[in-house]
Amino acid sequence: MSEGDRLSELAKRRGFFNQTAAAYGGVAGFYTYGPQGAALKDNIEAAWRDRYVTREGHMEIDAPTVLPEPVFEASGHVETFTDMLVECVECGESHRADHLVEDHPESTVEDAEALPNEEVGELIADHDIDCPACGTPLAEEPVEDFNLMFETNIGPGSSSPGYLRPETAQGIFVDFPQWAEYARNQLPFGVAQIGKAYRNEISPRKSIIRVREFSQAELEHFVDPDDEPPLERVEDVEIPLYSVAQQQGEGSVKEMTVREAVDEGVVDSPWLAYYLGISKEWYERIGVDMDRFRYRQHLAGELSHYASECWDAESELGGDWVELTGFATRGTYDLDKHAEYTGEDFSVFQQYDEPVTVERPTVDPEMSYLGPEFGNAAADIVAELEALAERDPDAFDAEAVTVELDGETYEIPTEKTGFAVEEVTESGEHVTPHIIEPSFGVGRLIYTALAHSYREDEIDGDQRTRLALPPEVAPTTVGVFPLMDKDGLGERARKLASELRAAGLEVTYDDSGAIGRRYRRQDEVGTPFCVTVDYDTLEAETVTVRERDSTDQVRVPIAELPATLSGLRDGDITFDDI
RNA sequence: GCGCGGAUGGUCUAGUGGUAGGACAUGAGCUUCCCAAGCUCAUAGCCCGGGUUCAAUUCCCGGUCCGCGCACCA
C-alpha cells in the first residue's frame, strides 16, 4: 500500500476525514472531517491564528462566502478564471478548445488560451478540426468559457447573480476602506481570514489535496512601498530555497538564512522573505517534516496576472511536491481594480513626517478670451494646458504656448493662460498599499501533518502505527485509563478524566480491553500522553504518565497533573523534565 | 475532460451464474496488576441503473465514485 492509501485508510477508520455522502454514491471533491480531523483542523487553525494574527498584531475578519457578480468582474475572476470549452453537438462531449488548436499538427499556436474565444473558434474551422471522440466537424460550434467558480443567485430570480468565492482574499479586499478606517489609516496593517473557498475543479484528485470546497487561511498584509519588515526577527532562520535559477540550473535546493536571501537578491521582496522565515518555523511547529519541505519560486510563466514575485511552500507527499502556501506580492492590483469598478477610494492618506512645500505650476486660463477665440475646442484646450503645465512648465516661458488637439494646432498667448508657479504645502499623500499575501491551504496542512507524522515501528516485537503529531495540534492531548475496570479503579479514573477536562485539556477516556490495546489506539490517532490509574493511585494519589513516541512512563502526583499536562501540550516543558 | 485500472461488512481482502468466507476492528462476557495475549458470543458486506438469463454480487452496457497517467491548478 502506498503512503496515500495507508493514510486514507487510517483517516477513514479513525475519523480524520472521509468522502462526503458516500451513501448517496459520493460526490467528487468533497470531504467531511470526522471528530479527529475536525479537532486537528481546529488546532492547526488556532496555531495559525496565534502566529499570523495574534503575534503579528494583525486583525482577523469573517466575510461571506457568497459575493455578487460585480466583485468578481472587478477581480478578473469572471473573465479569466475559466477554461475554453467546445461542445460536440453529435456526441455531447466537451473538449478544451485551446488544446484542440494547440495539438493540431498544422497549428503553430502555442498559447491558444491567451486568444479570444472567437479566434480560437476560427482556428478550429480553419484547420477543420473534428471531435476527438466521434469525428464530427467542430467548425460550426461556438467556443465557450467554463468558469471554475460556482454560480448562484442572490434572492429569487436571476437578476442578481453571485459566486461562491474562489479565494477568501476578495472578501478582505472589497471592504478595504472599512479595514483602513479601523486601522486609523496607519500602514502597514494586516487583515486575516480563515474560511471556506470554492472551485468547481474539472478533476479533483488525491484525497483532500484537491477538493472543490476547502479552507484557506489567508493574510493580506497592506504595506506602504517604503515600509520595511522587521527582518531582524528572523534573519538567522535557515530556509530551503528552490529559486528560478536553481530550477533552471542545478535543480537543487539551497539553504540560506533569510538575511542572505535578501542580501543576495534571491528573494526580491524583503516582506516575502520575512514571511518565509516565520513560516518555516511555524510549519515545523505543526509537524511538517523539514526534510520533506522547500520553498519553490514561481517561474515567469506560472506567475498570476497580479503577482510580480511568488514563492510556494511545498511539502513532499508520496513522491510529489504539493503546494501548502503561496507567498505572493499582489501589488496594488486588487485595490486598483475595486477602486476602478466602484469609484470608491481604496487608498490610504499617509501623512509625511513633516509637511513639504512644493512648487506647483498651475494655469488659470482667461475664458473670456479662449471661449470666443476657440469655440468648442476651448474646454479641451484648457485640459491640455493643465496637463502641459504639469508635464512641461518651461513651455510657458515663451510668448505663446502651443497645444495640439486632434491634429489641430492652437497657439495661445501665455498671458491668457494665467500660468503661475504656486507654493503648495502638502502634509501627505494618498497611497494605494501594496499587498503581501501568504495564502495557506488548511486541508493540505492537515494532510501533510498526518503524512509526515505517520510512523510504523515495533514495541517488544509487536508492530504499531502511530502519529507523531506535536502535542499542540494533536486532536486529543491525553488518554485516561483505569488499569482495569474494577476495584474502584474505573470510578477513580473517570473522576480524573473529568477533572482534567475541567482544567481545559482534551481528554479521551477508555476502559475497554487490555491496557496495551488502549495505548495503541491512542498512538494511532496521535494522542501524545496517556495517564493510567492503578492500585497505587488509590493509595498514594499518583498515576503513570506514558509518552507516545518513547513509550516511557513516569509517576506523577495527581495534584500536579493538570499543570504538567498543560505544560507538555504548550511546549513549556518536555517529558524529560518531569 | 481523455486514456488505463478498480469498487465485496467499519478496515483489509477471498470467492461465486443458484445471495458470500476469512483476518483485523467493534460490542457483551470471562480472564488479565502497564503496551495490539487468550476463550465464548454478537453486530456487520457484494456501488447505482439498465440488459442477457429461470436465476446476476459474478456476464454485457451506461452511470457514480476511487486510483494512476495526460490536461487543469487563477
ipTM for this model = 0.85
Q: Which of residues 108-137 of A touch strand B (CB under 7 A)?
A: 132-133
The reply to whether A516 Cβ lies less than 7 angstroms from strand B is yes
Q: Which cell goes with A97?
A: 478548445
Q: Which cell goes with A558?
A: 495527581
Q: What is the pLDDT of residue A310?
A: 93
The reply to whether A433 Cβ lies less than 7 angstroms from strand B is no
Q: Which cell goes with A546?
A: 506514558
The reply to whether A484 Cβ lies less than 7 angstroms from strand B is yes
What's the helix, strand, coil split of chain A in %, to 5?
A: 40, 30, 30
Å from the A25 CA to the B61 C1'? 20
Q: Which of residues 444-473 of A touch strand B (CB under 7 A)?
A: 459-460, 462-465
Å from the A19 CA to the B7 C1'? 15
The reply to whether A550 Cβ lies less than 7 angstroms from strand B is no
The reply to whether A521 Cβ lies less than 7 angstroms from strand B is yes
* pLDDT higher than threshold 90 for residue A394: no
In strand B, the nucleotides that come within 7 Å of a protein beta carbon are: 1-3, 10-13, 25-28, 32-37, 47-48, 63-74
pLDDT in tens, A2-46: 778 889 999 999 999 999 988 888 888 999 999 999 999 999 999
Q: Do the beta carbons of residue A77 and residue A163 sit within 8 Å? A: yes
d(CA A371, CA A387): 19
| Per-residue buried b or exposed e for A497-512, using 16+ beta carbons within 10 Å of the residue's own CB | beebeeeebbbbbbbe
The reply to whether A1 Cβ lies less than 7 angstroms from strand B is yes
The reply to whether A82 Cβ lies less than 7 angstroms from strand B is no
Which range among A16-25, A290-299, A361-370, A495-504 shows the weakest confidence by mean pLDDT?
Answer: A361-370
What domains can you pick out in chain A, each with its CATH number? 3-61+169-333 (3.30.930.10), 82-147 (3.30.40.230), 353-424 (no CATH), 476-577 (3.40.50.800)
Q: What is the pLDDT of residue A509?
A: 95
**Predicted confidence band of residue A104 (pLDDT cuts 50, 70, 90):** low
Å from the A478 CA to the B44 C1'? 31
Å from the A203 CA to the B3 C1'? 14
**Three-class DSSP category at A389:** helix
Which percentage of chain A shows pLDDT scores above 90?
58
Q: What is the pLDDT of residue A437?
A: 95
Q: Which cell goes with A551?
A: 513509550
* pLDDT higher than threshold 80 for residue A126: no
